[in-house]
Every structure is written in C-alpha cells, then in structure tokens.
Structure 1
Amino acid sequence: MKIRIKTALYGVMATAFCLILSACAGPAGDKSASAPKTSAYLTFLDTEPALADPQRISEKYTVVLNVFDRLAEEKEEDGRNRMVPSLADSWEVSGDGLVYTFRLHPGVTFSNGAALTAEDVEFTFHRLISHPESRNRDLAMSILGAEALREKKTDKLAGFKIIDDLTFTITLAYPCATFLEGLTTPGASILDKETTLKAGDAFGRTPETTVGTGPFMLTEWTKYKGIVMKANPKCWSGPPKCDGLSMHFYAENSPLRQMFLNGELDILDLDKLGIDAEYFLRGDIYRKNVIRGHRVGISYIALNQSLPPLQDVRVRKALQLALDRKILMQTAISNRGILENGIFPRGLKGHNPGLPEIPFDPTKARQLLQEAGYPGGFDLTISYSDTTAQRVKEMLRLTAAMWKKIGVRASLMEMENRSFLNRRNHGELACYTGTWSADYNDPDNFISAFFGSRENSLGRSLCYPNEAVMKRVVDARSIVDPEARIREYRFLEKKIIQDDAAWIPLYSGYHFFAVNERVNGFHVRWNGWSSNRYADVSIKAEADRGN
C-alpha cells in the first residue's frame, strides 16, 4: 500500500478560467474581455490536445510537460542541451551497458498527496509497453522482457527490479545508446499507479484523472475553449514562478494579433498567425518582443505505400520531383529556413549536409508516371487537420497545383483534428503534411518514430513495407561505436528517402514567439517545440515592466 500524505485540495480559480472564456468569445477591441483578474497567470495559445496521457499521445505536450515529471530532463545551457537528474537523483550503468541502477529523489509526492515510489516507476514502464494505444513504447522496448510483455506472453517486465521504495534497476536486452536520452521525453513521464489504474480509459481526460509530480496541476479543461493549470505550491522541485497557466485553444478565426496587442495573450506562437506574423517579424515596433528558437525538426509530406498507386516507387519519386520546394518554403515560412533532403534535420546529431539535393524536375516526373503506367495521372487526396495553420494550407494548395501540372488530380480534405489523428494513426490517410521535432537529440528519435517498425510506420500512414530496413533501424541502437552508428543511420536515411521515396522532405526552420513585456524568463525549448515548460517563467511586477 502506498503512503498517502494528506494535502488540501486545490480548487480552480474561477477568475482565471473566466479569462479563457472571455478571450475566446470577446471582440478584438474589447478591453473588458482581455484583462485577467488573476494577473500572475501566464496566458498563451495552444492547440487542444486529444488527451493528456503521456503514453497515448505523440504531440501537443504542453499539459504533459507542466503537470508531469520524468526521471531525467533535457536542460539547455550555453546554447547546448544536456541531460540532468529530475525524479531520479542519480543512476549508474554497468560496464557492459546493460544494467541501470536508479535512485529516486526522496520525499516526492504527486499532486494528490501520494508518495512517489519505485512501484510507480515500474507501473509506468509496464503500461508504456503493454497499453494497446501506447504511442511511445519504443522508449522502453530495449528493456529485457519488453517484447514478451507487449505480446502478452507474460504480465511481468523481466528487466525491472525494485530494490526498495526509492531504488530500482532496469536491465536491457541489449546495449542501447539512446535509452537514457529517451527517459527525458514527455512519453516517459512518471505516473501515479493508483490514480491511473482507477481512472482506466479516462486517465488524462479530466483534471481529476490527470495527476503528476510537476510544477502545475490541471484544474479545468473546457472542450474547445481552454485549460487552466494552477501552480503546485508543494512541488518537490519548488513552486513555479507564476501562479498558474491559462491556455486558450486555437480557433482559426480568432483575432490572434489583436488579442496579443490587447494584452489577452502573454505569449503568442507566431506559427499560428500566417501572414500576420510579418507584422512582428518585419515591423520595428514589436520586433523587440520577438524571441526566436531553432527548430530541430523537419516538415514533410507523407505518402502511404499501402495504397495504389503510391505503392510504386516511380510514382512516389515523380511526386517528389514535381514540387518546387523553395516556393513551398517561401509560402509556409517566408524562406526562414533551409530545404532538407532526408530525415535528419540540421541541428540533429547525425545530420548529413552532403545528402544529394532532391531537384525540381517536372519533366522527369511526368516521364516516371508514364513508365509506371499513369500517363494520364491519377486522383489523390491530401488530408489536413482543422487546426492546420493558414500558411500551411496555402502551401498544400500550391502542392496540389504543382502536382496537377504532371497530371495528378490532387484534392484537399479538411478534417476535424481528432478524426484526422485517428485515421492517420490507423494508416488510412493517403497523403498529408506534418512536422516532427526532436524529443531528444539523436537520429533514432526521428528514424525509429517513422520507420522503426511496421506499427510505427502504420501509425504515421506511411506503411513502409521494407522489413529488412526496419530491422536495421532497430539494430542501429545497439551499435557501440558512435561513428559507425552515424554511418549506418546515414545509409538508412538515403535508402528510405532518396532510393525508396518514402516521404517528401520539405524544410527545417526557426520558431518565433511574441512575448508580452510583463513576462520574464521565457525561452524557446531547445528543440523549438510549440509546447514549453513554464515553471521558470514569471510575471514582472508593474514597476519593472519595460526593463
């Protein structure tokens, strides 16, 4: 039985949530709708997540990053990120790289008062591997016995051993160069066993079922409106520097620029603004409010190889060659980036600047279609979510127009975000665009997520069929020599993208945020995510603003 430390229940501050409701519904110039009564709540905009279960999502991590903690975290210092202890005070690795001994920080409690123990960590890894909807189980599949647990041959994880309440060991089936790095990612967040089991499928869907050890507590979630997270004053790592977070959900017709100028938003992700972003990026008045971070990520167009005629590599290569990617980049991000030609973007360990450039060659594209038996082209549906930024939609319209010139009749289909994700996760989308940013700085984080298994590839609607290549992707994790490991990844990158044309790489770029002068301490996360952790962000006193 776990020890439960009695704590007071933290009720929601109604005035904080009124901010969300008024900001979403109020007219652009309505000052009364914009002024938060809880002035020390940080207000910002984000896309509504499907749920806040770290193991069952692979994007939109804002709630997860702020409500939960991990055994270790990535911390940026002097422009470089490194791994630092978090819930685990320390760890030791055996000489053969197989046995990891962890010691938990003493006295940590979840926001409901339950003490964190090694039993919670064991449960977290067990569920990460065995849950049928787990989106992040790759993080734990190198653990001894993980495959048998996943295949329901056992109900125990052989490689996890509890020594005492604060000490445990994890034994791997093989040396894995990325195991520790993976523990810093949102998908490896540590869960309260009792709360999670009791909640069942409802875990991560309501404030009552979303319980972590992090600096904030989820206190309100109104669908299509917003989320409120209140500071956790008894957080083991210290209380956060602001009283809470008020997260508005992005709506396409919201007057975002005016909301920021009115003071309704403290932080505005300029990715959401479309052409209005230029008001901040080019104008002199608000340029001082803009913070830029490098996005260690890649935008791409996915092609589903399980559907005809995309099963034919000549068709996929034709689609690659028919796109003037420079124009697409200009449309989507105003040329604030570089074209990519593979899987691993600049800034990622293993990036290959010498990878051959994919040219713009519509003549060759038409020739390939004719050779494939499609001289008259074919029909293709490009799907996108209703949360897609306007400039990305414009880029997709241009993509369809370019493909039309080689005979491909591409139509665009907007889908409600939950439906889009559900169909993508089941391998049902023929074509869509996406962006993947690093969870941790290693090529495995990119190539395994898309091409590390049949399941992963299906979940991205790529349906890559080459089992031998996917096995090599997994085996690369255990290559001990760092240089040999990078060579293997670069070979696989060229094989998958340039030879097999499994997707169309587009570009990598920067991430820009406009920040209100009352905000102090905001930094773009090292990988350039839209999702950020806000524990160290504070609200300046009135007298200090402008300094």
Structure 2
Amino acid sequence: MTRPPHTPATGHRPVRAAGALTAAGLLLASSACAVANTDSGGGSGDTVRIALPEEPPTLEPCDASLTATGRVTRSNITEALTERLPKTGELEPALATNWERSSDTTWTFTMRDGVTFHDGTPFDAQAAAFSIDRTVDSDIGCNVDGYIFGDSELTAEAVDDTTLEVTTAEPDPILPLRLSFVEIVPTSTDTEDKVREPVGTGPYKLKKWNQGVDLTLQRYDGYWGEKPAYTTARYVWRAEGSIRAAMVSQNEADVAIGLAPQDGAGDNAVEFLNNETSYMRMDATQAPLDDIRVRRAINYAIDKEGLVSSVFSGLGRPAGQVVPEGVIGHNPDLKPWPYAPEKAKSLIDEARADGVPVDTTITIIGRNGIYPKGSEAMEVVQSSLNDAGLKVEIEMLDVNAWMEYLLRPFPADAGPTLLQAQHGNQAGDAAFTMEQIYGSEGAQSSYGTEKLDSMIEKAEGAEDDARQEAFADALAYQNDEVVRDAVLAHMTGIMALSPDVSYTPNSATNDELRLREMQPKG
C-alpha cells in the first residue's frame, strides 16, 4: 500500500512549562495523602506500572478502536493480521506474513506459522476468518465494525490452514489497512455477546482484572515474536491528572498518560504529537441545531486560539477539520473558523427572527477525563455560546454513560446536544473518519446528507491522488455546506515517564500503548 508522506512525532522532548517544578512541589505536598493511599503493587523491575485516566469500559477485542480499551488490548493482548507503524505510516506483517490483491474485490493473505493463542490453541486461517466475521457480521455491536467498515460487506474464507481470502462487495484498495483493526481471537470466542476476558496471540495475556481497582497483564511465554522486557504490566486509573503525575514522581507508577502542563510532572514530563482532534458534535436533527445558521454561529462564537493558549496551555493547534496532517484526505485549504462573536450574535438573531427556537436549552454532553482540562474547555465553550445568544448547559459524564451518546442508537428524547468528542485517526486514511463520523448512518454520526454520503462513497473507492482529492473535497463540502461540527484543536499529548523506563511515545500512544516497546533502563 502506498500513502503520502507522514509527519508523526519522531521523538519526544521534555516539557518546559513555566513554573512546572514549583507546581510539582506544591502538588506533591497537597496530594500526598491521596497518592499515599494508592496500592502501588510494588516497584519491581519485572513489572511496569501504568496510570490511566480511566478504567477500560471493556476489554472486548472488537471494541479495541475505543481509546480506553485499545490502549490496553491492541498489540498487547490481541493482534491483527497487519500492523501500521505509527512512526512511518507503513503497513507491516503481523499475524499475516504477506498479502496480495488477487482480483478487484479479493485479497489473499498468508498466515504466520507457529502462532498459538493464550489458551494453547493454534492460530490459523480459520481463526482469522472467524474473527473477521465476528467483528463485521455479528449482532454484538462491535465498535470496530462501525469505525472501520461502516456498511461495507465482506466475506472471509479459509482456503486452507495458512491461506485466507477476503472478498468485498465493492473494490476496496485499503482492505489490508482496515484489517489492522480486526483483533484475532480463537474460534471458541463467544459470538452472542462481548467477552470480559479476551484471549489473543499477543505478548501478554490477562492475569486479573479487579473491577474498579486494577488490571494486570502477564507475559505470555508462548509468544511467537520477541519476548518483551517486562514480566507483568499493572494498570490503575486515577481521574485527576495531578494524581497520576505524582504517582510517577513518588515511584508509585512508571508511566502516566493524559496529562496537562498544570499537573506537575516536572522533569518526568514528556511532550509528544498525537493524532487526536477535539471537536463538538452537533445534533443537527434537533432544533435549534437543525438550522445551519445556528451551527455556523456556534463555530464563529468559539475562540479556538484562546482555548488553546489558555485552557490547553499552548499544547495543540486550532483546527478546521477532524482529519489532521499526514492522513490521506487531509484538506490543507481548510482553516479554523475565525473567531467572530458579533457575526455569531447576528446569525442567532436572524434565526430567532425567522422563528427558530434559539432559546431552547442546548446540553453539552461532556466526558470526564477525555483530555486534560476537558471540563474547563466545556465551560469556555458554554460561556461563548451563551454570550452569542444561545442557552447552553453542561452535563459531564463518565465514559460508559458518555458512550451512549457517542454511538448509535443515541438516547431518545435527549433534546438538542453538543457532544464533547475527540477523534484519533490511527490508520492514516480519511476512510476511517468520514463514514463513521459524517455518513448519514455512521456509527458516531448524528446527521448527514445524501450528497455528502455520495462524496464519501466515491472517495472510498478511489486510489492514490484521486483518493486524496476526493476525501479533501468531501471535507470541504462538510465544512461549507453541512457544518455538523465545531472543530476545536489538533491536540498535543503529555505523559509522565519514570527515569527507570525507556519508552518513546508516538502519534498512536494515546490509543495503543505497546508494552513491548517499554524497557527498563540500566
């Protein structure tokens, strides 16, 4: 597969936020009690200890495209046929050693020999076909299905133990890339419901999940690849970034992710470019959001430069589209909507004069821990929209409750909502953004149009330069004529890293934290 040059993070650098060390000192003093009460699980060099912002809502392999799930499961517990390298964007062999397009609609994959699942059963083409069918053609509601495949139709057939044929209804030039999101599981896996304790082929297997407390992975001695450095990995979750940062400072954790500059990680802080874009999804089926003037007013009312500089402390860039640079389909001509509060007020007044019920309460559905200072960001958005003449309230939810608003079917009778969301295109192609987020029936889409659907479909069937151009055109049409979102910023990540651990974060770190890339120093 070919793709244009990609510019992900190629390394990392220490954060030098003003007053970071002073803040760290004050933080440790004020939060010592909270940190001291955590169960550190020991600081053995055989165990890497990771502090997460939230507990995974599930470890179901077919939901591994969810950030909170994927950062534990992907490439750790389970693996796919192919694997995209975040640093280069290239597609590499994983459980498949090679693949080729045998017809316009058929791809043939060769399975890797000598691989076993954690339960001791052998991996083969039958398991791969089963996993694809379970992910794409079952009734268990896999997030990967909506995110990666949309309404695509495909069949997977094991020709023999080492040969897999995957056939699509329409030509799909990026099928091997799509399959990098199908986590392979044994044929004994439940097909009627999602699983709590996944079995995979990865370098680690699930040892124990104490719901609400911690989660431990243990190295799988039968792993087909290079043995990872750590025997076990222990995950805990703390909602407060300052607590996670302090855990690393006090040697109660080795890695903490999802931090803000104000969290006081000090010299342990590492800044890196990620692939996340923050945005507000408007439910354009509900008044007053069903009026495009109101949706445009919302975009004009939000000071994205101010949001990035104040709330995000300069970490990030104002954005005009959810597809970032380096992803096929990114439109370089789309700029962030300008901050024009008077224009926003004028559009709201115009809509009001035409009978649009702009005084109807709009609810911002926020998610705790979605990104650093996420609740503060929503307060800024709320204030801006209220100043523009709308009536906006905030409801902050934990991840499981928020998920009900993210994915279809959405809650009934919720009224007009603005969903605080963040999208990371780990795969490097706009196909993994456009249909699920902007298609009329997309898994995360609250609104679409026939024309935009047609543009997306055209782009998905195109190749090379034509694919880039078609997706860029679809993004421009969405921005100019549909205006379903208020895109906020392309984000920058911060993690805290123990001086005893060697790890280089990359653009996928927030979505898949690969344990095999971590090693003890010395």
Give the TM-score, by structure 1 length.
0.82
Residue type of the alignment partner of 2:77:
V
Residue aligned with 2:84, SS: strand
Equivalent residue for 1:27? Answer: 33
Change (3 A) 1:67 1:375: closer
Find out whether 1:49 has 2:43 as its counterpart.
Answer: no
2:20 counterpart residue number = none
Partner of 2:180: 184
Partners of 1:276 and 1:512 lie apart in 2 by: 10
Change (3 A) 1:409 1:485: same
Change (3 A) 1:390 1:508: closer
How far residue 404 of structure 1 moved from its aligned partner, in angstroms, is: 1.1
Aligned counterpart in structure 1 of residue 436 of structure 2, from 439, 449, 453: 449
Kept in 1: contact 2:439–2:447 (CA 8 A): no
How far apart, CA to CA, are the structure 2 residues paired with 1:490 and 1:532? Answer: 30
| Counterpart check, 1:436 vs 2:418 | no
Query: What amino acid is the match of 1:137?
Result: D
Distance 1:48 1:236 in 2: 29
- Is residue 526 of structure 1 aligned with residue 507 of structure 2? yes
Contact 1:70 1:86 in 2 (8 A): yes
Deviation at 1:29, TM superposition (A): 6.4
Residue 236 of structure 1: how far off its partner (Å):
1.2
Corresponding residue for residue 497 of structure 2: 515
Amino acid at match of 1:201: D
1:272 alignment partner, SS class: coil
CA distance in 2 between partners of 1:70 and 1:387 (Å): 28
The one of 180, 189, 192 aligned to 1:195: 189
Bigger relative contact order, structure 1 or 2, given CA contacts below 8 A and separation 6+? 2
Taking the aligned partners of 2:452 and 2:204, their CA distance within structure 1 comes to 42
Aligned to 1:123: 130
User: What residue number does 2:379 align with?
Assistant: 397
- Of 54, 64, 76 in structure 1, the residue corresponding to residue 73 of structure 2 is 64
Q: Deviation of residue 35 (structure 1)? A: 6.6
- Cα displacement (A) at 1:294: 1.6
Any residues of structure 2 matched to 1:120-199 within 5 Å, and which? 120-132=127-139, 133-137=141-145, 139-140=148-149, 146=154, 157=155, 160-185=156-181, 188-197=182-191
What is the distance in 1 between the residues matched to 2:424 and 2:47? 28
Residue 327 (structure 2) pairs with residue 327 (structure 1): no
Of the three residues 427, 450, 456, the one matched with 1:467 is 450
Alpha-carbon distance in structure 2 between the residues aligned to 1:142 and 1:101: 22
The aligned residue for residue 537 of structure 1 is 518
Judged with a 3 Å threshold, the aligned counterparts in structure 2 of structure 1 residues 398 and 26 are, in CA distance, closer, same or farther, namely closer
* Residue 7 (structure 1) aligns with: none
Aligned to 1:73: 83
- 1:476 is aligned, of 459, 462, 482, to 459
Q: Which moved more, 1:421-430 or 1:370-379?
A: 370-379
Does the CA-based 8 Å contact 2:329-2:470 persist in structure 1? Answer: no
Q: Distance in 2 between matches of 1:491 and 1:113?
A: 49
1:332 and 1:124 mapped to 2: Cα distance? Answer: 42
Q: CA deviation at 1:73?
A: 0.8
| 1:224 counterpart residue number | 212
Q: Distance in 1 between matches of 2:185 and 2:494?
A: 32
Q: Partner amino acid for 1:303?
A: M
Rounded Cα–Cα distance in structure 1 between residues aligned with 2:426 and 2:50: 22
Cα distance between partner residues in 1 of 2:136 and 2:327: 27
**Contact 1:72/1:183 (CA < 8 Å) preserved in 2?**
yes
Check the 8 A contact 2:219/2:230 in 1, yes or no: yes
Deviation at 1:28, TM superposition (A): 4.8
What's the CA shift for 1:337?
Answer: 2.1
The residue aligned with 2:472 is 490
Distance 1:405 1:308, change over 3 A: same
C-alpha distance after superposition, 1:373-412 (max 9, x if no partner): 2586432111112334551111110111111111212111
What per-residue deviation string (whole Å, max 9, x for no partner) do you get for residues 236-295 of structure 1? 1132211111011223387223211110110121x3346225x53xxxxx1xx4433321
> 2:333 — aligned with what?
354
Report the equivalent of 1:385.
Answer: 367
SS at match of 1:347: coil
Map 1:7-18 → 2, pairs under 5 A: none
Q: Which residue of the other structure, out of 212, 235, 238, is the alignment partner of 1:250?
A: 238
Query: 1:93 is aligned with what amino acid?
Result: R
TM-score (norm 2): 0.85
| Residue 504 in structure 1 maps to residue 492 in structure 2 | no
- The aligned counterpart of 2:118 is 111
SS of residue matched to 1:295: strand
Aligned to 1:154: none
Using the alignment, how far apart are the partners of 1:474 and 1:495 within structure 2?
Answer: 14
Q: Which residue is equivalent to 2:27?
A: none
| Contact 1:304–1:463 (Cα < 8 Å) also in 2 | yes
Cα–Cα, structure 1 residues 377 and 322, in superposed 2: closer, same or farther, change >3 Å?
farther
How many residues of Structure 1 are paired with residues of Structure 2 in the alignment? 478
Q: Which residue identity does 1:311 align to in structure 2? A: D
- How far did residue 443 of structure 1 move? 1.5
Which letter does structure 2 place at the counterpart of 1:414?
M
Instruction: Name the SS for the 2:135 alignment partner.
Output: helix
Residue 351 of structure 1: how far off its partner (Å): 2.2
CA contact (8 A) 2:79 2:202 kept: yes
How much has 1:40 moved relative to structure 2? 1.4
- Aligned equivalents of 1:339 and 1:258: distance in 2? 30
